[in-house]
Amino acid sequence: MRTVPTVYEVARHARVSTATVSRVLSGNDRVRPEYRERVFAAVAELGYVPSGAARDLAARRAGVLGLCFPDLVGDQDTDSDAMFWYDEIIRGMERAARRRGYALLIAACHETDDVDLVTTVAGRCDGMVVLARTVPAPELERIAGRIPVTMLAGPRTSDEAARVVDHLVVANREGARELTGHLVDVHGYTDVWFVAGPDSPDSAARFDGFQAALAERGLPVAQRPHAAGDFTTAGGRRAVAQLLADGHRPRALVCANDQTALGALTALAGAGLRVPQDVAVTGFDGIQLGQHVRPALTTATQPMRQLGEKAVSMLEERLADPTLAARLVEMPVRVDVRESCGCTSEI
């Protein structure tokens, strides 16, 4: 195998300086057409592919954005279905990044280890988005000292980190409030229960919205969730199956996320209950699967596209001005009324 060609070879071949090669390749400088031609010819002939590392080092810019999401491994080493939600995030971020000319460097990280992986990512990108439970706070602070960091859908971390890390969240509380309100106002259900996820700020905020909706309507307000899953389908199924086994028959179930709701659907079917005729169900997030199950899931859909775009622009703003104060931005969610709440299909 030949040795890999460098700018020097290209420059020599094209009989120009490396500066000219660099200018031609970056595209945005005025170079005599004749030289330009020669450079392209040399590049083609030599099969030149510029070294990203050298380029990044010299230009202090990578053209790469990073994304750390939690490492979710199911029981037998298969991906947990909580991953569906991350698929959407990855896709949304990749698209938004690409629109602005960045590639996306992704890695599933776990708070307890993987510091090397996080460093690999952080050291190689111009800015990064981290989801909750991926990077320990001290590490996060350190990284934020080097590149802009936006925490997506996560909790406010330590005070230190909060000073330097931007936060981008969705309207969890408001979404759950609307969903619950819909169940009460439109369908007249008063016996509405909440099926939580794991102990997380997202689940908590959604429960909060659930409580608010009930309180506003003068209905009795539960002080704690009636059941709790873990944001997976299996967890939701177990939680609701237990509820039913205990003899409870709520009229409607507000679930902390879509997978939990999907699990609820299965548990209810298993108990011979019809959705929405016997029990209504709502989810949260708007994963694609929710549109395909029957009954189609009524849910609060997160604006993936906009979340990605917003995350990238926040990163770019901070790249332009690193002294910016940390920001907390909340994006609205959209309530998608489908079948599982009792409304008819909108097909």
Interface with a second copy includes 223 (CB under 8 A)?
no
C-beta neighbour count of 77 within 10 angstroms: 6
Interface with a second copy includes 115 (CB under 8 A)?
no
- CB-count exposure of residue 26 (10 Å: 0-12, 13-18, 19+): exposed
* Interaxial angle between packed helices 172-185 and 201-216, expressed in degrees from 0 to 180 and rounded to the nearest 10: 40
User: Interface with a second copy by CB under 8 A: which range of 142-150, 189-197, 217-225, 238-246?
Assistant: 142-150
Check if the beta carbon of residue 287 is closer than 8 Å to that of residue 259: yes
User: Interface with DNA by CB under 7 A: which range of 10-18, 77-85, 160-168, 216-224?
Assistant: 10-18
Query: How many residues bind DNA, per CB under 7 A?
Result: 32
Question: What tokens does 44 get?
Answer: 């083609």
Provide, rounded to whole angstroms, the least separation between the CB of residue 53 and a second copy.
4
Residue type, 155: P
Q: Which of 50, 48, 55 has its CA nearest to residue 2?
A: 48
Interface with DNA includes 314 (CB under 7 A)?
no
Interface with a second copy includes 106 (CB under 8 A)?
yes
Site residues for DNA, window 26-45 (CB under 7 A)? 26, 29-32, 34-35
To which H or E segment does residue 129 belong? strand 127-131
Phi, psi of 192 (to 5 degrees): -105, 130
Interface with a second copy includes 145 (CB under 8 A)?
yes
Site residues for a second copy, window 305-334 (CB under 8 A)? 305, 322-323
Phi, psi of 168 (to 5 degrees): -125, 115
Query: How many residues bind a second copy, per CB under 8 A?
Result: 61
133, 142, 156, 187: residue in contact with a second copy (rule CB under 8 A)? 142
Nearer to DNA, 55 or 91 (CB): 55
Residues that bind DNA (CB under 7 A): 4-8, 16-23, 25-26, 29-32, 34-35, 48, 50-51, 53-55, 57-61
